[in-house]
Amino acid sequence: MAGREESIICVRGLRNSFGEQVVHENLDLDVRRGEILGVVGGSGTGKSVLMRSIVGLQPPDEGEITVFGENALSQDEAEATAMRKRWGVLFQGGALFSTLTVAENIQVPLREFYPQLDQGLLDEIAAYKVVMTGLAPDAGPKYPSELSGGMKKRAGLARALALDPQLLFLDEPTAGLDPIGAAGFDALTKSLHKTLGLTVFLITHDLDTLYAICDRVAVLADRKVIAVGTIPELLALDHPWIQEYFNGPRGREATATVERNEAQQEAEAE
Amino acid sequence: MTAPADFSPAGDHTGTLRFSGSLALACLGDLPDRLNAYDGAVDRLDMSGIDHIDTVGAWVIHRFAVGHGAEIDGLDTDGKYLLEQVSAADKPVQMRPEPCGAFARVLGEIGDAVVISINTLYGLLGFLGATTIAFWNVVRHPQRFRFNATVHRFEVVGVSALGIIGLMSFLIGIVIAQQGAVQLRQFGAEALTINLIGRITLRELGVLMTAIMVAGRSGSAFAAQLGTMKLTEEIDAMRTIGVSPMEALVLPRTISAIVLMPLLGFYSSLIAIIGGGVLCWVSLGIPPVTFIQRLREVVPITDLYVGLVKAPVFGAIIAIAGCFQGMLVESDAEQVGLRTTSAVVQAIFLVIVLDAFFAVFFTWIGWI
């Protein structure tokens, strides 16, 4: 291993378009091993499209995408399958299979890739994933339609983590959650990141999430990634969108919350 | 990182198991089974020889250690943290619904089905009532009538269906004439084929086949449209704005089905008679003029009334069953499909049941 600076995802010269509308043009992005990278941008700047390109759901017009050091675009089916084993994806609404229970949903990737595992072990694996992702112990036999939005996301996360991936894609994990639920989900992401040594690609609109858990933040605007860095680094930049984003009323509120929490922690330490 | 996971007892009989290789999901192999089968005394698990561990490996080790009362050591900091987190997640979790005996389950399913059927019938009657109330409201406040929506439904339910209903009716007319001619020829009564075609299409088949086609085309579409609107909360939005979904959605559909079913049924009968006439001409050598002349003699006008009286009732049933099932959709997209199927099945079933009642009724009043 080449240390923590090694790129786990490397995107170069990406171009995506839908008909006349160009979403990405000459987009470059690196995600380093072991970091939580937050991806922000206004609505319609192609955050989800970028994620879909990286995981292979949206073949780009041009450009190179390297994941785990391998070219993600020119693979045969076997190589692509091997790569899919090493990442987990949480879609915005959870995307749970509605005809399967939560437990069966979590077991789908395990059954698909490791058919030799016996049912007892599968159940045990699903059981501790249920607990680790903070689902209620009686959630196993429930169907997705019986779960609340937050529970669906947790169940989706449990499924994304079923194979112990090295790389986790989260698409707006805290959207639609109440602030307490969102903070809980942030804490969960952080704790799993630490426990499993995950690299996390996190699309979000939630400034609190950015401040709370992201190591670096990539900003999408003008069809490309205009800046990547820690929040203080981004704040030092002069781009109007970045300034408005972090220094707008909501941005200031999030900063104040972080400062308040830090002050509180210091006070408690004394 | 890809060496298979393995373990072996240390040679010094201290009850230590040494693990090696990569304790990750991809490299576990039969390790869990071998650990399950291991029955020697163990009080210490030495993990210092392993390359890598993930949550599945940690879980297997944790379970084994708990089962044998052994200690785990030799893990690096990350490994220890991982094991702590996994052990903390060792809580009883329910994976499956409570098991239940086969007999009790079958009884339960029968009971559920009965309760659902009764509730559906009850709900359908309630929905019929609600539609009637909405109709009277619109009669009292005619400015609330959705004229454009209704006319648009006329096109979707009626005009667009002309092609397929015409083709179907024409073919059915041919089939009836051909089958009838073959059977009646045995008695030398081929000429009665005309009676058969004229009476059966006007009294029964024209309207019945149209009802089945409209249930398949429009009843299902009503259920799917309303179901999707229910899912996307459009119907809730309508209610909060103060628009009654019964007046805005259900009534135009019901009225269009009631108005168009007699027209489509009449059209279908006519085309079926033409189909039968064509076959009579081609295969029995009865010229069209004779065919029409004979039709006028043998088909009483009450046959036409029988068909036209039934048609609007069938239209109402189809529209109300479709809209009712659509409004029942809740929570997920799968329900839209299920409800659409139920709408069609219910509509066709009720149409045939009512058709039987109508047959008895018309015989009773002497329209035979």
Residues of chain B short of pLDDT 70, as ranges, are: 1-2, 12-13
Say if B113 falls within a structural domain. Answer: no
Please report the pLDDT score of residue A1 as a whole number: 39
Say if B280 falls within a structural domain. Answer: yes
A65: tokens are: 């995408």
Asked if B89's CB is within 8 angstroms of A99's CB, the reply is no
Residues B67 and B158 occupy one common structural domain: no
Say if B125 falls within a structural domain. Answer: no
- List CB contacts (< 8 A) between B59 and chain A: 124-125, 128
- In terms of average pLDDT, the best of A51-55, A146-150, B113-117 is B113-117
Q: Residue A76 above 70 pLDDT?
A: yes
Say if B169 falls within a structural domain. Answer: yes
Query: Tens digits of per-residue pLDDT, A103-113?
Result: 989 998 888 88
Residues B22 and B156 occupy one common structural domain: no
The answer to whether A175 contacts chain B (CB < 8 Å) is no
Say if B109 falls within a structural domain. Answer: no
Residues B78 and B140 occupy one common structural domain: no
The answer to whether B11 contacts chain A (CB < 8 Å) is no
Query: Tens digits of per-residue pLDDT, A93-133?
Result: 788 888 888 998 999 888 888 888 888 888 888 998 888 88
Question: What is the chain B residue with the closest CA to A102?
Answer: B95
Q: What HEC string does chain A produce? A: CCCCCCEEEEEEEEEEEECCEEEEEEEEEEEECCCEEEEEECCCCCHHHHHHHHCCCCCCCEEEEEECCEECCCCCHHHHHHHHCCEEEECCCCCCCCCCCHHHHHHHHHHHHCCCCCHHHHHHHHHHHHHHCCCCCCCCCCCHHHCCHHHHHHHHHHHHCCCCCCEEEEECCCCCCCHHHHHHHHHHHHHHHHHHCCEEEEECCCHHHHHHHCCEEEEEECCEEEEEECHHHHHCCCCHHHHHHHHCHHHHHHHHHHHHHHHHHHHHHC
Asked if B96's CB is within 8 angstroms of A128's CB, the reply is no
| Concatenated DSSP letters of B49-64 | EEEEE-HHHHHHHHHH
Instruction: Work out the pLDDT band at A4, boundaries 50, 70, 90.
Output: very low
Residues B84 and B143 occupy one common structural domain: no
Q: What is the CATH number of the domain that holds B39?
A: 3.30.750.24
By residue range, what is the domain housing residue B272? 133-364
In a mutagenesis test of the A interface, which of B36, B84, B95, B98 is the best target, namely the one with the most A β-carbons within 10 Å? B95
Question: What is the chain A residue with the closest CA to B78?
Answer: A195
Last residue of a domain, one of B28, B58, B88: B88
Report the residue from B63, B92, B332 with minimal CB separation from A137.
B92
Residues B232 and B149 occupy one common structural domain: yes
In a mutagenesis test of the A interface, which of B66, B94, B100, B336 is the best target, namely the one with the most A β-carbons within 10 Å? B94
More confident of the two residues A205 and B287: B287
Question: Is 0.85 exceeded by the ipTM?
Answer: no
Q: Are B329 and B359 in contact (CB under 8 A)?
A: no
Say if B121 falls within a structural domain. Answer: no
The answer to whether A196 contacts chain B (CB < 8 Å) is yes
Asked if A138's CB is within 8 angstroms of B82's CB, the reply is no
Round the CA-based radius of gyration of chain A to a whole number and report it: 19
Please report the pLDDT score of residue B46 as a whole number: 85
Residue entry with tokens 């309303």: B226
Please report the pLDDT score of residue A5 as a whole number: 54
Q: Are B95 and A123 in contact (CB under 8 A)?
A: yes
Residues B68 and B148 occupy one common structural domain: no
Round the CA-based radius of gyration of chain B to a whole number and report it: 35
Instruction: Work out the pLDDT band at A145, boundaries 50, 70, 90.
Output: confident
The answer to whether A228 contacts chain B (CB < 8 Å) is no
The answer to whether B77 contacts chain A (CB < 8 Å) is no
Residues B174 and B245 occupy one common structural domain: yes
pTM of the model: 0.70
Inter-chain Cβ pairs, chain A and chain B, closer than 8 A: 78
Residues B63 and B148 occupy one common structural domain: no
Say if B173 falls within a structural domain. Answer: yes
The answer to whether A264 contacts chain B (CB < 8 Å) is no
Q: Residue A78 above 90 pLDDT?
A: no
Say if B162 falls within a structural domain. Answer: yes
Report the residue from B56, B63, B95 with minimal CB separation from A141.
B95
Residues B188 and B317 occupy one common structural domain: yes
Residues B74 and B152 occupy one common structural domain: no
Torsion angle (degrees, nearest 10) of CA B197, B200, B202, B205: -110
The CA distances from residue A100 to B23, B265, B309, B332, in Å, are 29, 44, 48, 13
Question: What is the chain B residue with the closest CA to A114?
Answer: B26
The answer to whether A136 contacts chain B (CB < 8 Å) is no
- List CB contacts (< 8 A) between A195 and chain B: 55, 81-82, 85
Euclidean distance between CA atoms A202 and A172, whole angstroms: 7
The answer to whether B64 contacts chain A (CB < 8 Å) is no
Residues B215 and B332 occupy one common structural domain: yes
Asked if A191's CB is within 8 angstroms of B93's CB, the reply is no
In a mutagenesis test of the B interface, which of A133, A143, A195 is the best target, namely the one with the most B β-carbons within 10 Å? A195
How many domains does chain B fold into? 2
Residues B241 and B325 occupy one common structural domain: yes
Last residue of a domain, one of B34, B64, B88: B88
Query: Tens digits of per-residue pLDDT, B131-183?
Result: 999 999 999 989 888 888 899 999 999 999 999 999 999 999 999 999 999 99
Minimal C-alpha gap between B193 and chain A (Å): 53
Average model confidence (pLDDT) across chain A: 85
- List CB contacts (< 8 A) between B91 and chain A: 127, 131, 137
Please report the pLDDT score of residue A3 as a whole number: 42
Q: Is the four-CA dihedral A183, A184, A189, A190 of positive or negative sign? A: positive
Minimal C-alpha gap between B71 and chain A (Å): 20
Asked if A194's CB is within 8 angstroms of B93's CB, the reply is no
Last residue of a domain, one of B88, B103, B120: B88
